[in-house]
Amino acid sequence: MKRILCIWMALVATTLTSLAASKAVTITSPNGRISVELQTEKGKLGWTVSRDGKPAFTTDGISMDLGNRVLGGEAAPKSVKQTKAKETIRPVVPLKFAVIENQYTLATLDFGQYKLELRVMDNAVAHRFVTNLKGEIEVKDEQFTIQPTDGFTAHIQPCGSFNTSYEEPYQHKSIAEWQKDGNLATVPALLSRDDDTQLLIGESDVDDYPRLFFKTNEKGITTTFPKSPVKWEPRGDRGETITEEGDYIAKTQGRRTFPWRFVVVTDSRGIVEQTVPVQLARRNALADVSWIQPGKFSWEWWNGAAPYGPDVDFRAGCNYETYCYFADFAAKYGIEYILLDEGWAKSTRDPFHGNDNLRLPELIKYCNAKGVKVVLWLPWLTVHKNLDTLFETYASWGITAVKIDFMDHADQWMVNFYKRVTAEAAKYHIIVDWHGSFTPAGLEQEYPNLVSYEGIRGLEQMGGCRPENTTYLPFIRNAVGPADFTPGGMNNMQPERYRAERPNSGAMGTRAFQMALYVVLESGVQMLADNPTRYYQNDDCTRFIASVPTTWDETRCLAAQAGEYVVVAKRKGSKWFIGGITNNTPRDLNLSLDFLGEGNHKMTCFRDGKNADYQAMHYNKAEQTVSKTTTLNIKMTRNGGFAAAIE
């Protein structure tokens, strides 16, 4: 059903501050919990942010270098105008809430030919430049520095260079330790303090501009960006290597809005529930969204495309018989798509001809008869070289989704490439899942056929995907948008006992941990990464996984401590799902179910078995009657989980 964006703006309580009388301005969020002390003195543009009267961080050095002038550093603003606004957002692909109420106080700092907008929300502070300059401009650099108050630990994803797929494990260190090692880090980043103050730093509405990275200076955390590429050299079938860069980060129009830079200021539960990146993003640009269908993919790469059940009487591989088997499995459990990963084509450079054993037209026809859609994997360079005819051709074949891989760059050209491809795919009603990618920053809201990104250390890392890293994902990576983690491993092991490789791939954490990920993690597509044979052998687990929606009407975080554990309840229609995961520490939690409606409800749950701390595949399935007065006891073993459906 088409979702219609409904916006109601109320601009009230306008004040105009004369800067001749005062160099400091106070801006307060609508609910009063967040306050900003704005310093507008020449050369000292910045602000201090407090939550409930307690300082959390200071931002200064806000500037944009255009070569011939430095915006933000050259003069004090002529005026600061404050307005209050409220709007209702209905995301096309709702990952947390079907309806988001967005209210904020907007301070507009007027410098003449440009402005700086400062949005103070009930749980965040964001800023961006807005320019009104003639012609084209070159942005040499953009800077701001965040100096948190004492006691914060930084949780960052380090990277050796701007050429990254955003899949490195998180590191956890003090700001002083980060300053000492000098690591470059991707966006987003999380800062945590012992009083459960959490600062999530990120960006949104990134368009015709490079992606932000973090580094440190003597004051705190500051910004850096990849330069704009000038020359490239081929690098196999996966892409190209930048051999020459310009002396600017972006060449762009002089009249425009620039990306939002935000800091969410809340607690652990608030991080899980917040929707700040959606609130700051552009709104849907597509007139018709009825064809956009999020869902689940049955995926063959992780399990080696090697089913082995008693009904397998064919040679497994990237061939017609194997994919028909996957389609039969998907049809049985109501899984909407099957993904043909690398190997389906005769050549990775040729996106138009399947390998001789695939019989692609016949396979597509078979899948369509089963009510299952086919997804094709592609390297980005192949997409780039065939973009003029690629999606038109695929639409004529009946292909409705693609997975595009190995971009591994985040410069202005590549950001524009994502948009160009996603917009072209939308013309032909094709959804896109970006892999080897940077993290979400608003394009998925403007073009909601972009249903997920990788940019995450997911299950494809096999033994490198450890629960102590995964438990940070709801608070960092998934906190800024959809993430294709590819969960669902049925061969479960505790980390110290991990022994697995394709085709008998394994997943760290307990069985209940893997099942809970379908509720905890957010993505417009969720993979079923394991072998159909294993799913047949674990029918009750598979039926639960297949029943979990990929979009939600409501999200409630029932319990959380950033990076340690999280339990969420999510509603689709009248049905609730609960998912909980923990790190290497067992948890015993008592949780209220007061969000349920009146009357009794049936809960079907999957718990860690008594021996799951040793034999991670041990789980217990149970049913019980619950109501809004029930206190639910959840016991999760180390690296364990809890998953439930309530109806």
Q: What is the dihedral of CA 624, 627, 630, 634, to 10 degrees?
A: 50
- The whole-number average pLDDT for the span 66-94 is 93
* Average pLDDT value for residue range 369-398: 98
pLDDT, residue 23, reads 62
E strands, 515-615, in order = 525-528, 554-561, 565-572, 575-582, 587-592, 601-608
Confidence of residue 73 (pLDDT cuts 50, 70, 90): confident
The pLDDT of residue 77 is 92
What residue has token string 């149970």? 622
Sort strands 337-340 and 373-379 into parallel, antiparallel or unpaired.
parallel
Q: Can you tell me the distance from the alpha carbon of 597 to that of 633, in angstroms, rounded to the nearest whole number?
A: 19
Residue 10: its pLDDT value, please? 40
Of the candidate ranges 16-20, 396-400, 593-597, the one whose mean pLDDT is the lowest: 16-20
What pLDDT does residue 643 have?
98
E-assigned strands of 43-180? 46-51, 54-65, 70-71, 79-89, 100-110, 114-121, 124-139, 141-148, 153-156, 158-159, 171-174
Query: What is the average per-residue pLDDT within 468-482?
Result: 98
Which residue in this structure is represented by tokens 């491809």?
Answer: 421
Average pLDDT over residues 559-582: 98
Q: What is the mean pLDDT of residues 378-384?
A: 97
Task: Please provide residue 569's backbone torsions phi and psi, each rounded to the nearest 5 degrees.
Answer: -115, 130
Which has the closest alpha carbon to 433: 546, 368, 551, 525?
525
Please write the tens of the pLDDT for every residue from 434-443: 999 999 999 9
pLDDT in tens, 114-173: 999 999 999 999 999 999 999 999 999 999 999 999 999 999 999 999 999 999 999 999
Q: CA geometry: angle at 114 spanning 27 and 45, to 5°?
A: 45
User: How confident is the model over 515-553, as pLDDT tens digits?
Assistant: 999 999 999 999 999 999 999 999 999 999 999 999 999
Phi, psi of 195 (to 5 degrees): -85, 15
For 319-368, write each residue's pLDDT tens digit. Answer: 999 999 999 999 999 999 999 999 999 999 999 999 999 999 999 999 99
**483 with 456: CB under 8 angstroms?**
yes
Contact 199, 571 (CB under 8 A): no
Tokens of 431: 């959804």
pLDDT band for 311, please (50, 70, 90 cuts): very high
Measured distance CA(478)–CA(498) in Å, rounded: 26
Average pLDDT over residues 623-643: 98
- Asked if pLDDT for residue 18 goes beyond 80, the answer is no
Residue 414 has pLDDT above 70, yes or no: yes
d(CA 173, CA 154): 5
Per residue in 417-463, pLDDT tens?
Answer: 999 999 999 999 999 999 999 999 999 999 999 999 999 999 999 99
Q: Both tokens of residue 631?
A: 């206190």
Residue 512 has pLDDT above 90, yes or no: yes
Taking the C-alpha atoms of residue 123 and residue 274, their distance in angstroms, rounded to an integer, is 8
Which of 42-56, 291-305, 537-551, 577-591 has the lowest average pLDDT? 42-56
Peptide bond connecting 30 to the previous residue in cis, omega within 30 degrees of 0: no
- Please, what is the average pLDDT of the chain? 95
* Helix or strand holding residue 550 (H, E): none
Task: Report whether pLDDT(401) > 60.
Answer: yes
Name the one residue in this structure whose structure tokens are 């990618």.
437
Global confidence as pTM: 0.95
- Report residue 398's pLDDT band, with 50, 70 and 90 as the boundaries: very high
Q: Please give the domain boundaries of the chain with CATH numbers for all domains.
A: 12-280 (2.70.98.10), 295-550 (3.20.20.70), 576-646 (2.60.40.1180)
| Percent of the chain predicted with pLDDT > 90 | 94
Cα radius of gyration (the chain): 25
Confidence at residue 9, expressed as pLDDT on a 0 to 100 scale: 38
57 has a pLDDT exceeding 50: yes
